[in-house]
Amino acid sequence: MTVRTAIGPGLLDVHEAGPPDGAPVLLLHGFPQGADCWDAVVPALTGAGYRTVAPDQRGYSPGARPAGRAAYTLDALVRDAVAVIDDHAGGRAHVVGHDWGAVVAWRLAARHPERVRTLAALSVPPTAAYVRSLVTTRQFLASWYFAAFQIPWLPERVLDARGRRFSALFAAALRRTGQSRERAERDAVRLADPAALTAALNWYRGVLVAPSRVVDPPVTVPTLFVWSDGDTALTRQCTELAHRHVSGPYRYAELHGVSHWIPEEAPEALAALLLDHLAAYPG
């Protein structure tokens, strides 16, 4: 079932599944995907009695695609997640995030623990751990695209979003990171609209518009951090710093032979980890 949540720039599309009285699980996708990246995980969660709430986040929902990088600050993205929790999860939910969704989830749990029963972050560590790894490990080399995306209009021009070559070029880039052909083509089509592509890139640009001078407090809620050793974007060294930013119960799990795209490449293994985590800490 698709419902909507009102935020400042418009309406987010929110996809719900599972029993109405089930404990809510908020699923936050990353770049360049949508809520459908969770499709292979949702049945395991709903089958266990949970209710899943998966928004197409700001910029990915056609009805909430504001112009300009200033509309995509991390705090704005966290406010969207809070709005979804308040509207569709009774004010408190288990939170699961992958890629950029993990970035949002870490800050949400750190600054709004009253909204979060448990946290499960996939692939990406807390922002402070990531930033530190840029100057202390080879993570800087793996993050070259982050700097490239900061340049106005150039990434769009290189990707040729208005031309017929876009889908093929972008799909090929995703496949080099381990994405399957079918899913890479799906995600490339999603961003073939120039407005959609710019909105997605603005997640990278917006984080530097209003960088926070206040370090997030440690996460106090029970936390599961999942990383995969086939990830070409996030290095093992940056994941090793994550535990420093959690003061509550913490578990690290590593998936072997799996690329960055954990929810779709290893849904059974991920679902098993999530179900153990949620059952251990019902909140």
Residue pLDDT, tens place only, 84-129: 999 999 999 999 999 999 999 999 999 999 999 999 999 999 988 7
> Catalytic annotation on 204?
yes
HEC string of 57-114 equals: CCCCCCCCCCCCHHHHCHHHHHHHHHHHHHHHCCCCEEEEEECHHHHHHHHHHHHCHH
Q: Is residue 273 part of a domain?
A: yes
Measured CA to CA, the distance from residue 52 to residue 226 in angstroms comes to: 19
Mean pLDDT of the region 141-154: 49
pLDDT of residue 143: 45
pLDDT bucket at 148, cuts 50 / 70 / 90: very low
pLDDT of residue 277: 98
Q: Is residue 103 part of a domain?
A: yes
**pLDDT at residue 43 tops 80:** yes
pLDDT bucket at 239, cuts 50 / 70 / 90: confident
Between the alpha carbon of residue 222 and those of residues 47, 163, 169, the distances in Å are 23, 46, 40
Least confident piece of the model among 158-167, 190-199, 248-257: 158-167
Q: Is residue 57 part of a domain?
A: yes
Measured CA to CA, the distance from residue 281 to residue 221 in angstroms comes to: 9
CATH of the domain at 269: 3.40.50.1820
Cα separation of the two ends of the chain:
25
All residues at 6 or more sequence positions from 262 whose CB lies less than 8 Å from its CB, including other chains: 98, 122, 123, 226, 228, 255, 270
Nearest to 78 by CA among 112, 123, 34, 120: 112
Measured CA to CA, the distance from residue 206 to residue 102 in angstroms comes to: 16
Measured CA to CA, the distance from residue 77 to residue 103 in angstroms comes to: 10
pLDDT of residue 125: 93
Catalytic residue among 99, 187, 245, 277: 99
- What is the span of the domain harbouring residue 6? 2-142+211-280
Measured CA to CA, the distance from residue 236 to residue 133 in angstroms comes to: 10
> Catalytic annotation on 15?
no
Mean pLDDT estimate for the chain: 88
Nearest to 22 by CA among 49, 3, 43: 49
Q: Is residue 175 part of a domain?
A: no
Catalytic residue among 29, 88, 94, 260: 260
Q: Is residue 132 part of a domain?
A: yes
> Catalytic annotation on 256?
no
Measured CA to CA, the distance from residue 93 to residue 161 in angstroms comes to: 37
Structural domain total, the chain: 1
- The pair of structure tokens assigned to 19 is 């029993």
**pLDDT at residue 283 tops 70:** yes
pLDDT of residue 10: 94
Q: Is residue 74 part of a domain?
A: yes
**pLDDT at residue 241 tops 50:** yes
Q: Is residue 105 part of a domain?
A: yes
pLDDT of residue 254: 97
Spacing of C-alpha 39 from chain mean position: 15
pLDDT of residue 92: 98
pLDDT of residue 144: 42
Catalytic residue among 94, 204, 245, 277: 204
- The CB density around residue 91, as the number of other CB atoms within 10 Å, is 11
Q: Is residue 148 part of a domain?
A: no
